[in-house]
Structure formats: structure tokens, C-alpha cells
Amino acid sequence: MSSHGSLPRIAVIGCGAAAREFCLPVLRRFSDYRQRVVLVDISAEQAQSTARAFQIEHWCIDYRSLPLEVDAAMITTPHHWHAEQARHFLSQGLPVFVEKPLGMTEREASSMTELASAKGAVLMVNNYRRLFPAYQRVRQILSTGELGSCRRVDIWDGTRFAWASASGFYLRDARARGVLLDRGAHTVDILCWWLGGCPAVVSSRTDAMGGVEAVAKLELAHQQTVIHLAFSRLERLRNYYELQCERGTIRGRLFDFSRLQIERNGKRERIQAGPMRSYADWAWKLVTNFVQVVRGDERPIFEARDVAPSIGLLEQAYRQAGSFAMPWYDADPNVAALTRGDSAVSGADPGDRE
Amino acid sequence: MKRVLITGAAGFIGGWVTETFARAGIPLRAGIRRWNSAVRIARQPVEMVLCDVMQPSQLQGALEGCDAVVHCAVGSPQVIVEGTRHVLQACQAQGVQRVVHLSSVAVYGWATGSIDEAHPLRGDGNRYGEAKIEAERVCTELAGRGLPVVVLRPSVVYGPFSDVWTVRFARRLWSGRWGTFGAGGEGKCNLVYVTDVVQAIERALQVDGAVGAVFNINGGEVVTWNEYFTRFNEALGRDPLPRLKTWKIGLRARVLSPVRKTARFALHRFGKPILRLHSKSALAAGIMKATESSLKLTPTSDQLKRFRQDAEYRIDRARDVLGYEPRVGVTDGLEFCAAWLRHHGILY
């Protein structure tokens, strides 16, 4: 991308980690970005400090009263604000880019995509894993039927949560939901994209105990395919996918964006599907695509309506979610004793007893 | 108690205190240093606040409305000593009624034999142990000014969410490249299950006679390191462990020691470029993975020394004064660990 071109006027709503790590590093490659970006954050302190860090002139605290007329909006606020804020800009016919997940519910997602269609506005979402060459190759193999139909899918997706959350919203507020919406927004979307349709939820379990879940396991079904997904933001899982098809098996590491392996007729074939690139490079590529779409130089690589069905599946998984058996809590005699008040809280001082 | 502030609430022991107290309905405020560390405790609806013990202004806010503190936060030696000072000074300023300070049996250094709380403190060159001794001195100093402090010295605390004594050893056992150490593994292990430590903390908060005293907190069953490895291995359902050649392991530990130091330094100084290289070069990623695996599966020289150390930490005082009684035996504790490890998909 040229660093000399003119940047469209863009409002960046939300000045947390997503804006700082994915949006602003791309926007600042344009020479005039300082005057053409408006930062918006409910916290004036956060907006101001981000403006200072990126040397951006305009900032405010309310996306409904911007100090500058804009050509597009990028929304990087906590999930539950996405729909309302996106609709505000879409209703003006402006292109909008939303951080994943697109919305909290299927209804929210469809309200955004329908409004975008009605207004003829582009709505994109940051599901950038669709750009990984290895994932694109998996989709190609499945859609061409090269290995026959898919019988079973297993995906493990988990790392320790390291998101540099500025507000703590993702952990403090049950509306944020947990790992299922966070990591599931990527993985479930990729799964639906690979299979060419949205599976049904067979079972769903999480470890939420009145707060936000950190571990979730789903069993899904799609036509002849049985699917098992495991998510965690407490521990690193094997971070691997395996798709067993009639005439072979596809395997790959979740974060190896370029390579995969196919096993057929007892032989293993390694495939280099694209160049090795870093994780952020892919998100930047999608943000760059959005900027070029706003400039009229490119078409969207994919749009939010392509991703929307996966939000419905995640909503269904939350509705059906049960709890795991966790004997390390439920069968622990110390936890039981404290819970029933059989402790020094209610008992006498041991010294008194003697 | 009106409300207990738990510092280091996102850590291993602090997390267990938070989760168990929350289940028991004990009013609490969970003090954490960074939001992204709070994933575990956020599964329950607990009140969380940013509480970096190195920032006295954060401590003041976190302490508001609390009349008791469980100080679990750890970190570098500076955080252990100065963080403790900040916590205790803030507690004194706000009139906190009870502080439970988590120290460690590391304060006894490499001492052997039957060790009670009167045993001399010696860090023996261990930075963690020396920092904990210094932090205890801070407790003594503030107690002298009227702050009601109780000091607990837990031994080898294991259980779900323990990186040091559970996850790392489980991975070693799972790898098939770990074993028993013959005479080199016959030192006493002094395992205490984490909720037994929580039990001791809860009693230290309540029992009046505890103020101003120090307590060793150990499990009820003293096993050797060889037994620990064997029983943990059984709980994980693995094939019986081989007996390792101690001289060979010792040599490997010495050879890898400079590699370990260099890797730690490089990650600390050049973390981001190393990660970039990892994501862009398959060869570099392969070398890094092999080195990491080798380091993780090889005990350090200090660990080998610990596996031989014949020391047993006595808990008579905790039994007498606190009414502490370990409830989770090694078999049950390891079963909990194995179930948790399987559930979390840590072993594969």
C-alpha cells in the first residue's frame, strides 16, 4: 500500500487494544492520517492518550457527535456495542468495519447486515482467519470433494488469555461472555466456511459459574459430519485441526497459517499453501482491504453477511450450555467445609475448645 | 469479617482463596495486577479491582471497605519485599483488623531434619527464599507497630492451576522421558494440597490467638519425591516410570544450565523479535521448540538438590493454635489434579 495516498476520513470507535494493535498501525501508513482519523472512546483519558500516542488531532467521547464529517467507521468497542454503533453509521450509508464478533446474537447480526444491504453500504468484520492460506486450501479441498465427504472434525483452540484489555470489560461484565464468543467467533466461522453451511448444536458445556466461561466444549453435527470443538483461554491446548474425510484426512496447526498436511492411501503429503507471515499481518491485510474499499480501489475480500450465520450457532450454544463435572471443586472436603460454614468462621477459636 | 481483600487473586493460591471464599459466600474483593490475568476467577461473579502492590495509590482504593487482607501477591524479590511493605503500610493506615501474609518454607533454605517455626531462617543464596525472609521482617516491623499480622509458611503447594508443582511435572511425566531418581529422589517432598492452604488461611483470618505468630503449613502425609512422581504417574494412567541414571541427569542439568540462562535472557530482552522469527521461519520455530522441550524436561541442578533434601516441616503449631488439619491426602489430591489436567486438555 502506498504511504502517499490520501486516507478517507475514518472514525475509530473504541481506543482499546484492538484499535491500537490492528486498526491504527494500518491507518498511520497514510501520510495524512493525523488529520483524517477521529478517535472516539467513552473514556476521554483513553481517547486522549491514544491520540497522543498516534499523534492524531481529532478525538471525542461520543460517536454520535463527531468533530469531523467522516467517510467510514471502524468499530473496536466491546462486543455488546457493535450492533448499535454499526447501525448508527450504516443508517447514514457509510461503510463500516467491525471487530469480531460481529454481534452478540443472530438478531443483532442480521439487523446490521440487512441495514447494510438496504443502504447499499459495505459492512465488513475482522474475521481475518479466513485469509490464512492453509485455511483457504482446506476449504478448497472440501468444496471440490477431492477427499470425499467429511465425516468428522476436531478442533482444539486455546491459549492463555493475553489480550491487553484496557477496561477489563471482557472479564468484569457477564455481557461480554467468555471464550466461546471470543475464540469461537473465529473458529466457528471458519468451520461453517469450510463445511459450506452451519452445523447444529448437539451439546454444549462451559465452566462458567455465574461469570464468564474460560473453557467450553461443543459437539456439533452437519449432514454426515460429527464435530468436536474445544476452547480455552486458561491453558494452551493442542491448537490443531483434523478433518477426517472418506478418502483421507486433513491436519494442521491452528496457528500455522501457511502449512497443512493431507494423509491419503497411507501417505502423508505436506502442503505449503502460502508464505509464512505473522499473526498481525493477516489482520492488517483485512484492515487495509477495508480502507481500499472505502477509497473505491478494491472490493471487500468478504463481507459481514458471510460471517453472520456463525453468530447464530454461538448463540444457540450459549442457550444450550450446561456445566462440566469439576470434582476438584465439588468433591474437595475443604471447599465443602467452607461452603457449609464448617470452619473457623462459625466455629469457636481452637484455643477456646481446649 | 466485613470484606477480605485478596492480593494476587489471579495467581495459583490467591485464585483458590478467591474461588473458595466466593463459593462459601465470604465477602471479598479480588486484587489483580492486570485484567488479562483474571480469566480464572472471572468465571465466578466476584468483585475485581486493579491492585498492583507496587502502586500504593491502587492499594488505597482496593482496601476501601475491607477489614482483612490475604496477601498472596508475589513477583520479583523487589515485589515480594517492597510490595509487602506497601500492602502492610496501607493496611495500617486504613485500620485493617487482620492481615494474613503468605510466606514460604523457602525461608529455611537447604536446612534438613525436622523443622519447626523456631528454626533459623537462611536463604542459602535462593533469591526467592531471601526475599521471603526480608518480607517476613517487614511483617515483624509492622506488627511491632500494632498491625495484626499472621504469617503462614506453606511447603510444596500443589493442585489444579499450579504451574510449578503440578502442570510442569505432569508434562514431564506425560512425555515418557521422566522417571524416579533412586537415592537422588528419596528426599521428602512435603506436599500440601492447595485447599488445605486455603483452610489454613481462613483460620488465620479468624483465630484470635494467631495474631503475631508464624505457622508452617504442610500436608498430612509426607512422601518422597520418587513416591510423588510414581503416584502422580499412576493417577495420570501412564506406564510405570523407569529409574533414571542420576549422574546422567545431573550432567545434563549442568550442561543445559547456561542454555537455560541464555534463553531466559534472550526472551526477556528480545521477546518480540524472537516471536516474529518464530512465526516467519519454520526452521527457527522448530529449533526453538526443540530447545524449549529439552529445557522443560530436564531438571535444574537446584531441583536435583531438592529431590535429595531430607527436610520435614512440622505443623504442630498450626494444629494447636489454628485448629488446622490437612483434609486432602496425596491420593485424592493427585486424582483431583489428574481430572483437572484432563479436563483442561493440558496433556496431549
From start to end of chain A, where are the E strands? 10-13, 37-40, 58-60, 72-75, 96-98, 123-125, 150-158, 200-206, 215-222, 225-232, 240-245, 248-253, 259-264, 267-272, 322-323
What was the pLDDT predicted at B273? Answer: 84
Pick from B255, B348, B38: which is nearest to A214 by CA? B38
B200 lies in a domain?
Answer: no
Q: Where are the beta strands (DSSP E) in A276-334?
A: 322-323
* Residue B232 located in a structural domain: no
Among B208, B327, B348, the residue with its CB nearest the CB of A333 is B327
Residues of A in contact with B42 (CB under 8 A): 171-172, 178, 211-212, 214
CB-CB under 8 Å, A234 with B24: no
Option in A213, A276, A345 nearest B281 (CB): A276
Q: What's the pLDDT score for residue A173?
A: 79
pLDDT at A342: 67
Residue B234: is it exposed, middle or buried by C-beta count within 10 angstroms (0-12/13-18/19+)? middle
The answer to whether residues B250 and B150 belong to one domain is: no
CB pair distance less than 8 Å for B323 and A350 = yes
pLDDT cut 90: percent of chain A above it: 79
The answer to whether position B62 is within a domain reads yes
Express as a percent the part of chain B with pLDDT over 90. Answer: 79
The C-alpha of B254 sits at a distance from chain A's nearest C-alpha, in angstroms, of 29
- Looking at beta carbons, which residues of chain A come within 8 Å of B35? 165, 167-168, 170-172
Give, in order, the Cα–Cα distances in Å from A227 to each of A37, A52, A221, A243, A244. 43, 47, 6, 9, 10
For residue A353, pLDDT beyond 60: no
Cα A273 from Cα A276, distance rounded (Å): 9
Put simply, whether A336 touches B (Cβ < 8 Å) is no
Span A312-337, average pLDDT: 95
Strands A248-253, A240-245: parallel, antiparallel or unpaired by DSSP? Answer: antiparallel
Which domain CATH number covers B99? 3.40.50.720
Question: pLDDT at position A352, please?
Answer: 37
Residue A339 has pLDDT above 60, yes or no: yes
Of the residues B123, B138, B154, the one at which a domain ends: B154
Total domains present in chain B:
2
Calculate how close chain B gets to A280, using CA atoms only, in Å.
10
Domain C-terminal end among B139, B154, B169: B154
| Mean pLDDT across chain A | 91
Nearest chain A Cα distance for residue B246, angstroms: 31
> What's the mean pLDDT in B56-77?
95
**Residues B134 and B270 reside in one and the same domain:** no
Q: Is A333 on the interface with B (CB under 8 A)?
A: yes
Choice among A36-45, A100-109, B166-175, B251-260 with the minimum mean pLDDT: B251-260
To the nearest whole angstrom, how far is the Cα of B199 from the nearest Cα of chain A?
Answer: 6
Tell me the C-alpha distance between A87 and B228, whole Å: 59
**CATH code of domain A10-128+281-308:** 3.40.50.720
Contacts of A237 in chain B (CB under 8 A): 345, 348
pLDDT recorded at residue A282: 83
Indicate whether B195 belongs to any domain: no
Residue A332 has pLDDT above 70, yes or no: yes
Q: Residues of CATH 3.30.360.10 domain(s) within chain A?
A: 129-280+312-329
Chain A, 224-243: which have a CB under 8 Å from a chain B CB?
230, 232-238
Helix B246-280 and helix B301-308, axial crossing angle in degrees, nearest 10? 140
- Mean pLDDT is lowest, of A42-56, A228-242, B48-62, B265-279, for B265-279
- pLDDT, residue A187, reads 97
Confidence of residue A1 (pLDDT cuts 50, 70, 90): very low
The x, y and z cell numbers of residue A178, run together, are 467468555
pLDDT per residue over A232-258, tens digit each?
Answer: 999 889 999 999 999 999 999 998 888
Which of B98, B86, B40, B82 is closest to B62 using CA atoms? Answer: B86
pLDDT of res. B258: 85
The residue out of B117, B133, B154 marking a domain boundary is B154
Q: Are A230 and A254 in contact (CB under 8 A)?
A: no
Interface of A with B in 163-192 (CB under 8 A): 163-165, 167-168, 170-172, 174, 178
Is A11 within 8 Å of A77 (Cβ atoms)? no
pLDDT on residue A220:
98
**Mean pLDDT confidence for B333-348:** 92
Cβ-defined contact of A344 to B42 (cutoff 8 Å): no
Q: What is the pLDDT of residue A2?
A: 44
> Which of A169, A349, A353 is most worth mutating to test chain B (most B CB atoms within 10 A of its CB)?
A349
Pick from B24, B339, B345: CB nearest A328: B339
Q: Does B220 touch chain A (CB under 8 A)?
A: no
The CATH number assigned to the domain with range A129-280+312-329 reads 3.30.360.10
User: Domain containing B257: what range?
Assistant: 246-306
Checking if the pLDDT of B154 tops 80, the result is yes
ipTM metric: 0.90
Which grid coordinates are listed for B205?
483470618
Across the range A319-345, mean pLDDT stands at 88
pLDDT digit string, tens, across residues A120-179: 999 999 999 999 999 999 999 999 999 999 999 999 999 998 877 767 777 887 778 899
Is residue B174 assigned to a domain?
Answer: no
- Judge whether residue B314 has pLDDT over 80: yes
pLDDT of A343 higher than 60: no
Do the chains contact at A158 and B160, CB–CB below 8 Å? Answer: no
- Mean pLDDT to the nearest integer, B198-227: 96
A260 pLDDT exceeds 60? yes
- Do B8 and B150 belong to one domain? yes
Mean pLDDT for B8-18 is 97
- The Cα–Cα gap between B284 and A67 comes to 48
pLDDT tens digits for range B105-131: 999 999 999 999 999 999 888 999 999
Residue B103: CA count within 13 A, CB half-sphere: 32
* B71 within some domain: yes
The chain-wide mean pLDDT, for chain B, equals 94
Average pLDDT over residues B172-197: 95
Q: Cell digits for A77? A: 468497542
Residue B334 in domain: no
Lowest-confidence segment of A3-7, A95-99, B34-38, B66-70 by average pLDDT: A3-7
Sign of CA dihedral B28, B29, B31, B34: positive
The strand pair at B28-32 and B4-7 is best described as: parallel
